[in-house]
A and B are shown apart, each in its own frame.
Chain A
Amino acid sequence: MLYLKLAWRNIWRNRKRTWITASSIGFAVFFAVFMQSMQLGSYQRMIDNSVRFYTGHLAIHQAAYWEEKLLDNGFEQSKVESLILDSETIDVAVPRLTSFALASYKDKTKGALINGVDPILEARLTYLDNKLTAGSYMSGNGVLVAKGLAEYLKISVGDTLIFVSQGYHGVNAAGKYPVEGILKFPVPELNQSAVYLPLPLAQEFFGAEGIITSYSLLMNEPDEITEVQSSLAGFAKENDLEVMNWEEMMPELLQGIEMDYYGGLIMIYILYAVIGFGILGTFLMMTKERTYEFGILVSIGMKKLKIQFMVALEILMLTFFGVLLGLVASFPLTFYFFNNPIEFTGDAAKAYENFGYEAIIPFSLDPVIFYSQGVVILIISLFLGIYPMLAIQHLKIIKALKE
């Protein structure tokens, strides 16, 4: 109690310095929190957008499929269906049969990526129905054609498209299907080649009864991915299947996020280093200007350890005060932006939307953002606090009394 009281009064001996030091700590915390909240928030959104684009959080394939995306590397849907549908952590499970075919209309022919899907489930994962620009969504007999492909083939809703391909285990596959709708994809690759049709129709076309090439899973909570992945691993292995997460399927996305994150981290650390010098300056002054006083205290019988304890408390109080200022300033702001994400307008918005991303910067309120700043600042302070501790340890009474 004595030490707390002393420490508290001591930090307010020089109000101005205490405010300046605490504010600079507060500013660093504020900046770091704001930036990380924005970063983590947009990564989360980016991941969410990306997995919804196609892969899902997890995908189950036949073991060889990821290396060689062939129809023959498909597997029986019934193998895994019961297992997946029972899981409570999985929000939606989307089966697909994907392979290539030649698509022809009149005198035009082009390679097409055929996706046999469950219209309802697919819409729940990728919002495929929202990409419709003409015609209607899959009713059961027809196909949806990507806009670029449709333009190349000069085909429109109501026309009949002919597919030719090699089917499952080498059978010949051929069929003709009415075009029910046109889809617009933001990514050129898909826009030039994608065709969607109901799964049973695709299985019939490829002669692959009951076969799919992938099962894409979306979790209720992203942090359940690892858990589900490992819980499925054993079963997958037994059945010659493979469970991949989005990081494995889209390594470049993860890389991009990591680079951005570490870039931000470097900025924050530079800021912390600058602030650190300020803190060190304050600590130096706090010790230097009180050398005589410490000399008196040791003379009259206060042990150095107790003086160190008192000064350590001062350092902690000052640091906590600064961190608190930063958190108090940053929380309402991040909270506001969490609820009201920054929205882009105009060209920037278009650019985002073209890549399938929502044109907003969302913020994260992940508690780790807040307390990690506190912890980092505390570690910096404790580290810098070594100096005053040593200075007190090495204090020479006679010299101190001559100050």
Chain B
Amino acid sequence: MNVIEATQLVKTYNPDTIPVHAVNNVSLDIKKGEFTAIVGPSGSGKTTLLNMIGGLDTPTEGKVIVDGVEIDNLNQSELTDFRMHNIGFVFQSYNLIPVMTARENIEFIMLLQKIDKNARESRSEELMEKMGISETSKRRPSELSGGQQQRVAVARALASKPKFILADEPTANLDSQSTNSLLDIMAKMNEEENVTFVFSTHDQRVIDKAKRVITIVDGKVESDETK
């Protein structure tokens, strides 16, 4: 079953002056349980593609269907709700709410979802345990290392049990050790809980860990290999 179906996606910036086709006719299906890397050099259109798939940006042409819902048909507020319930996000850096502790950050989306306290607590404890960040639970983001922050961000994304997680260059600001451990954790969650991950990267070590690698050049899919 496809969690994501993107059909002939086009994103054109400055259509009236000097058009930039950041994403140029990309079609793409992601199935449940995939661990997929979107790969390409800087400026190739990875972020633009992920933003459209995640309902953060609207395509100039084409459509995105997430879990059977054509998300371009949703209005702004419906889309925000849709993201909350269905999509987990991990960004390059500064993902977390600075005034909240690690644990509060992890529970934040569950709070927005009005999940009750006990369920929230057991879920966040479980995730912190799995991610090896239990000891950071009471610390604020500024007191965490970059690697810990990204693990908290992944935990937050996972907490609400989304259909899939989009991570735009989640390791771009991490050293190699933190990169490894973040990838290991993501892979483990993929194995154990069958969580679907779509992440972008141009780091070969990260690419090596992906099960499927979609390469984008100049906004077009150049290759799509499943290992």
Contact = CB atoms under 8 A, between A and B. Distances in A.
Interface of A: 2, 6, 9-10, 13, 292-293, 296-306, 397-398, 401
A299 B112 contact: no
Interface string B89-114: 10100110111100000001101100
A2 B83 CA distance: 20
B94 A292 contact: yes
A300 B89 contact: yes
B118 interface: no
A297 B84 CA distance: 10
A108 B125 CA distance: 108
B42 interface: no
17 contacts: A6-B97, A10-B99, A13-B99, A296-B97, A297-B97, A298-B80, A299-B56, A299-B89, A300-B84, A300-B89, A300-B156, A301-B160, A302-B112, A304-B80, A397-B57, A398-B51, A401-B56
A10 B98 CA distance: 9
Interface in B194-217: none
B98 A293 contact: yes
B226 interface: no
A300 B112 CA distance: 10
A296 B91 contact: yes
B97 A293 contact: yes
Given A10-B99, A296-B94, 10 more contacts: A6-B100, A293-B98, A296-B89, A299-B54, A299-B91, A300-B89, A300-B157, A301-B80, A301-B109, A302-B80
Interface of B: 51, 54, 56-57, 76-77, 80-81, 83-85, 88-89, 91, 94-95, 97-100, 108-109, 111-112, 156-157, 160
A293 B93 CA distance: 11
Contacts of B157: 300
A398 B112 contact: no
Contact of B77 (A9, A10, A303): A303
Contacts of B81: 301, 303
Contacts of B95: 296
Contacts of B88: 300
A253 to B, nearest CB: 57
B91 A401 contact: yes
A301 B112 contact: yes
Given A296-B94, A397-B56, A398-B51, A301 B77 contact: no
Contacts of A401: 56, 91
B84 A301 contact: yes
Contacts of A302: 80, 84, 112
B83 A301 contact: yes
A13 B76 CA distance: 30
A317 to B, nearest CB: 13
| Central interface residue in B85, B95, B99, by most chain A CB within 10 Å | B99
A13 B97 CA distance: 12
A303 B80 contact: yes
Given A9-B99, A401-B91, A300 B83 contact: yes
Nearest to A10: B99
Contacts of B160: 301
A299 B112 CA distance: 13
B94 A300 contact: no
A398 B13 CA distance: 13
Contacts of A10: 99
Contacts of B57: 397-398
A304 B54 CA distance: 17
A299 B97 contact: no
Contacts of B85: 301
A344 to B, nearest CB: 54
Contacts of A292: 94
Contacts of B97: 6, 293, 296-297
A296 B84 CA distance: 12
A13 B89 CA distance: 25
A6 B99 contact: yes
Nearest to A400: B56
B98 A13 contact: yes
Query: Closest 10 interchain pairs by CB?
Result: A301-B84, A9-B99, A301-B83, A397-B56, A398-B57, A303-B80, A299-B89, A300-B89, A10-B99, A2-B111
